[in-house]
Chains A and B, each alone.
Chain A
Amino acid sequence: MKQLRGHILRTAFAVVGVTALLATSACSMNVKNQASGPSDGSLLVAADNGSPTFEKNFNPFSTSKRVATTYMYEPLRVTNTLDGTATPFLATGNTLPDAKTVVYDIRTGVKWSDGTAFTPADVLYTFNLVKATPALDTWGVWQHIESLEVVGDTVVFHLKTEDVPAASIIDQQLIVPEHIWKDVKDPVTWKNEKPVTTGPFVLDTFTANQYTLKKNVDYWQADKVAVEKLVLPAANSQLDVVKNGYDWAYAFITDVEGTWVNADKQHNKYWFPPGGTITLSPNLTRAPYNDVNFRQGLSLALDREKIATDAEQGYVDAAGQSGLLLPNQEAWLNADLPNEGVVAQDKTAALAAFAKAGYTQQGDKMVDASGTQLSINILTANGYTDWLQGLQTVQSQLGALGIDVKLSQPQPAAYTEALSKGDFDIAMNSFGGTGSVFQDMNTLLNSEFATPIGTGTTGNYGRFSDPKVDALLAQLKASTDETEQKAISAQLQTVLYEQLPVISMFYGGLWGLSSDKNFTNWPSEKNAYAPPNTWNSTPLLILTNLKKAK
Chain B
Amino acid sequence: MRYTLSKVGLLLLTLWAAVTLNFLLPRLMPGSPADAAIAKLAQNGPVSPSTRAAIEAQLGVPTGSAWDQYLQYLNNVVHFDFGVSYTFFPQSVASLVATALPWTLVLVGFVTIVAFIFGTLLGVLAAWKRGSWLDTLPTVGGTFASAFPYFWTALLLLFFLGYVAGWFPTSGAYSSSATPDFSVAFLLDALYHSILPATTILITSLGGWILGMRSTMINTLGDDYVTFAEANGLHPRTVAIRYAARNAILPNLTSFGLALGGVVGGSLLVERVFNYPGVGYLLYTAVVNQDFPLMQALFLIITISVLLANFIVDILYGILDPRTRR
Residues of A within 8 A of B (CB): 1-2, 5, 8-9, 11-12, 14-15, 18-19, 22, 26, 29-32, 34, 50-53, 55, 57, 62-64, 134-140, 143, 188-191, 207-210, 233-235, 237, 239-240, 243, 275-276, 381, 384, 410-417, 420, 430-434, 439, 443, 449, 458-459, 508, 510, 533, 535
Q: Please tell me if B275 contacts chain A, counting CB pairs below 8 Å.
A: yes
Known: A235-B275, A413-B35, A413-B39. A62 touches B58 (CB 8 A): yes
Known: A64-B87, A413-B36, A416-B38. A12 touches B272 (CB 8 A): yes
Known: A32-B164, A430-B46. A210 touches B39 (CB 8 A): no
Closest to A63 in B: B55
Q: In the complex, are the beta carbons of A434 and B155 less than 8 A apart?
A: no
28 interchain pairs, CB-CB under 8 A: A12-B268, A15-B155, A18-B151, A29-B164, A32-B166, A53-B99, A53-B277, A55-B91, A134-B53, A135-B58, A137-B54, A139-B48, A143-B50, A209-B174, A209-B175, A235-B171, A237-B170, A237-B171, A237-B275, A411-B29, A413-B29, A416-B42, A417-B30, A417-B35, A431-B46, A433-B45, A458-B49, A459-B49
Q: Please tell me if B254 contacts chain A, counting CB pairs below 8 Å.
A: no
Q: In the complex, are the beta carbons of B54 and A52 less than 8 A apart?
A: no
Distance A50 CA – B87 CA, assembled complex (angstroms): 12
Q: In the complex, are the beta carbons of B54 and A134 less than 8 A apart?
A: yes
Q: Which of B152-173 contact A (CB under 8 A)?
A: 152, 155, 159, 163-164, 166, 170-172
Q: In the complex, are the beta carbons of B35 and A62 less than 8 A apart?
A: no
Q: In the complex, are the beta carbons of B58 and A188 less than 8 A apart?
A: yes
In the bound complex, residues from chain A placing their C-beta under 8 Å from that of B170 are: 235, 237, 239-240
Q: In the complex, are the beta carbons of A443 and B172 less than 8 A apart?
A: no
Q: In the complex, are the beta carbons of A18 and B155 less than 8 A apart?
A: yes
Q: Which of B32-47 contact A (CB under 8 A)?
A: 32-33, 35-46
Q: Closest CB of chain B to A172's CB: distance in Å? A: 10
Report the interface size class on chain B.
35 or more
Q: In the complex, are the beta carbons of A8 and B284 less than 8 A apart?
A: yes
In the bound complex, residues from chain B placing their C-beta under 8 Å from that of A143 are: 50
Q: In the complex, are the beta carbons of B166 and A62 less than 8 A apart?
A: no
Residues of B within 8 A of A (CB): 25, 28-33, 35-46, 48-55, 57-58, 84, 87-91, 99, 149, 151-152, 155, 159, 163-164, 166, 170-172, 174-180, 268-269, 271-273, 275-277, 281, 284-285, 287-288, 290
Distance A413 CA – B41 CA, assembled complex (angstroms): 11
In the bound complex, residues from chain A placing their C-beta under 8 Å from that of B30 are: 410-411, 413-414, 417
Distance A207 CA – B155 CA, assembled complex (angstroms): 26
Checking A1, A140, A207, A415 against B51 with a beta-carbon cut-off of 8 angstroms, the contacting residue is A140
Q: Closest CB of chain B to A504's CB: distance in Å? A: 13
Q: In the complex, are the beta carbons of B46 and A208 less than 8 A apart?
A: no
In the bound complex, residues from chain B placing their C-beta under 8 Å from that of A137 are: 50, 53-54
Q: In the complex, are the beta carbons of B36 and A15 less than 8 A apart?
A: no
Distance A70 CA – B25 CA, assembled complex (angstroms): 37
Distance A221 CA – B114 CA, assembled complex (angstroms): 59
Known: A64-B88, A207-B176. A52 touches B55 (CB 8 A): no
Distance A138 CA – B89 CA, assembled complex (angstroms): 15
Known: A209-B175, A233-B176, A239-B170. A135 touches B273 (CB 8 A): no
Distance A533 CA – B89 CA, assembled complex (angstroms): 23
Q: In the complex, are the beta carbons of A12 and B58 less than 8 A apart?
A: no
Q: In the complex, are the beta carbons of A15 and B273 less than 8 A apart?
A: yes
Closest to A143 in B: B50
Distance A417 CA – B31 CA, assembled complex (angstroms): 5
Known: A8-B284, A22-B155. 20 other contacts (CB 8 A): A8-B268, A12-B269, A14-B151, A30-B164, A52-B281, A57-B88, A135-B58, A136-B54, A143-B50, A209-B176, A209-B178, A234-B176, A235-B172, A411-B31, A412-B40, A412-B42, A413-B36, A414-B30, A458-B49, A508-B45
Distance A1 CA – B288 CA, assembled complex (angstroms): 14
In the bound complex, residues from chain B placing their C-beta under 8 Å from that of A53 are: 99, 172, 277
Known: A52-B172, A235-B171. A31 touches B164 (CB 8 A): yes
Closest to B47 in A: A458
Known: A411-B31, A413-B32, A417-B35. A139 touches B41 (CB 8 A): no
Distance A222 CA – B195 CA, assembled complex (angstroms): 45
Q: In the complex, are the beta carbons of B46 and A432 less than 8 A apart?
A: yes
Q: In the complex, are the beta carbons of B31 and A414 less than 8 A apart?
A: yes
Known: A413-B31, A416-B36. A138 touches B51 (CB 8 A): yes
Closest to A21 in B: B155
Q: Closest CB of chain A to B250's CB: distance in Å? A: 29
In the bound complex, residues from chain B placing their C-beta under 8 Å from that of A138 are: 50-51, 54-55
Q: Closest CB of chain A to B125's CB: distance in Å? A: 34
In the bound complex, residues from chain B placing their C-beta under 8 Å from that of A50 are: 275
Checking B49, B155, B178, B272 against A443 with a beta-carbon cut-off of 8 angstroms, the contacting residue is B49
Closest to A420 in B: B35
In the bound complex, residues from chain B placing their C-beta under 8 Å from that of A508 are: 45
Task: Sort A-B residue pairs by CB-CB distance and give the 9 closest, nearest first.
Answer: A140-B50, A413-B31, A458-B49, A412-B39, A189-B90, A135-B57, A414-B30, A210-B176, A413-B36
Q: In the complex, are the beta carbons of B54 and A135 less than 8 A apart?
A: yes
Checking A1, A63, A411, A417 against B37 with a beta-carbon cut-off of 8 angstroms, the contacting residue is A63
In the bound complex, residues from chain A placing their C-beta under 8 Å from that of B177 are: 207, 209-210
Q: Closest CB of chain A to B103's CB: distance in Å? A: 10
Most buried by B among A18, A190, A431, A439: A18
In the bound complex, residues from chain A placing their C-beta under 8 Å from that of B273 are: 15, 19
Most buried by B among A50, A143, A276, A458: A458
Q: Closest CB of chain A to B204's CB: distance in Å? A: 14
Distance A5 CA – B164 CA, assembled complex (angstroms): 33
Checking A140, A208, A209 against B49 with a beta-carbon cut-off of 8 angstroms, the contacting residue is A140
In the bound complex, residues from chain B placing their C-beta under 8 Å from that of A239 are: 159, 163, 170
Q: In the complex, are the beta carbons of B51 and A52 less than 8 A apart?
A: no
In the bound complex, residues from chain A placing their C-beta under 8 Å from that of B281 are: 51-52
In the bound complex, residues from chain B placing their C-beta under 8 Å from that of A411 are: 29-31
In the bound complex, residues from chain A placing their C-beta under 8 Å from that of B41 are: 63
In the bound complex, residues from chain A placing their C-beta under 8 Å from that of B51 are: 63, 138-140
Q: Closest CB of chain A to B323's CB: distance in Å? A: 35
Q: Closest CB of chain B to A536's CB: distance in Å? A: 9
Q: Closest CB of chain A to B62's CB: distance in Å? A: 16
Closest to B162 in A: A239
Distance A533 CA – B44 CA, assembled complex (angstroms): 9
In the bound complex, residues from chain A placing their C-beta under 8 Å from that of B84 are: 189
In the bound complex, residues from chain A placing their C-beta under 8 Å from that of B178 are: 207, 209
Distance A486 CA – B31 CA, assembled complex (angstroms): 39
Q: In the complex, are the beta carbons of A63 and B290 less than 8 A apart?
A: no
Checking B45, B53, B166, B275 against A140 with a beta-carbon cut-off of 8 angstroms, the contacting residue is B53
Checking B40, B58, B151, B163 against A15 with a beta-carbon cut-off of 8 angstroms, the contacting residue is B151
Most buried by B among A233, A240, A412: A412
Q: In the complex, are the beta carbons of A26 and B57 less than 8 A apart?
A: no
